[in-house]
Amino acid sequence: MTRVRIIGPGRAGTSLATALSRAGWTVLPLLGRVDDLAGAAADTDLLLIATPDQVIAAVAAAVEPSDQAVVAHVSGSVGLRPLAGHPRRAVLHPLVALPDAERGAERLVGAWFGLAEAGDPMVAEVVASLRGRVVTVAETAWPRYHAAAVIASNHLVALLGQAERVAASVGAPMEAFLDLARGSLADVAALGPRAALTGPVRRGDTATVARHLDALPPEERPAYEAMAREAGRLCP
């Protein structure tokens, strides 16, 4: 049975530990910041570093290299470079939000994963075990790949936060606008962003856009203007 050890008992680490355990992997006890990491790659097939990006290199350097174990991290913004010194290296980035161990473990099944183009193929076994799909990322492309992930997830949440504020100002429930958002996401999935776009910018209705900007509080206008410009880029 394949063994995996995870450094970092946070949301990503515990989500992966739960999901892999359910998928039949032997998950060794997780290690944290107070543990001795020197022997972390011993007696395991895969060592996953699930720490903040800025400490991945230091954590990897604290681990004695092993010819047997694959040492991988789960960050989407850096490639293989922080793992220098380990003969078998890989990246396994779950392209999914992991808010807690239980929700995260459920979402990992069938998820997309970013894998390094030149990484060790063992991490593909993880993806297969979780019935996932792969995005192969070149070493120089990780920052742009991760930027796309942030736009699709974090920026979407920020936009919905703005929708909630503006809706609340007229006494409208956020639930109504979430249904609208779900429909738009379904249209993007089915048709692509360009064909899914509706609304005043698509129609060339600049008067309505101007009325929106006049009605919005000053602090809400820059985001609206920025997204109106982005919507314009999708128009024929």
Using alpha carbons only, give the angle 80, 84, 86 rounded to the nearest 5 degrees.
Answer: 100
* Dihedral-angle region of residue 67 (phi above 0 means left; psi in -120 to 50 means alpha; beta otherwise): alpha
The pLDDT, as a whole number, for residue 98 is: 92
| Domains, in order of start, for the chain | 3-137 (3.40.50.720), 145-234 (1.10.1040.20)
What's the average model confidence in pLDDT over 101-114? 97
Q: Can you give the pLDDT at residue 33?
A: 87
The rounded Cα 195 to chain-centroid distance in angstroms is 25
Residue 124 and residue 142: Cα distance in Å, rounded? Answer: 18
Confidence of residue 236 (pLDDT cuts 50, 70, 90): confident
- From the CA atom positions of the chain, what is the Rg in Å? 22
Count the neighbouring beta carbons within 10 Å of the beta carbon of residue 232.
Answer: 13
Helix (H, G, I), strand (E, B) or coil at 18: helix
Structure confidence by residue, pLDDT tens digits, 199-229? 999 999 999 999 999 999 999 999 999 999 9
Cα 203 from chain centroid (whole Å): 33
Residues 30-88: pLDDT tens digits?
Answer: 999 899 999 999 999 999 999 999 999 999 999 999 999 999 999 999 999 999 999 99
Of 96, 8, 99, 88, the residue nearest 49 (C-alpha): 8
Q: What is the DSSP string of 106-175?
A: HHHTT-EEEEETTS-THHHHHHHHTT-EEEEE-GGGHHHHHHHHHIIIIIHHHHHHHHHHHHHTTT--HH
In the beta sheet, which residues pair with residue 18? none
pTM for the full predicted model: 0.91
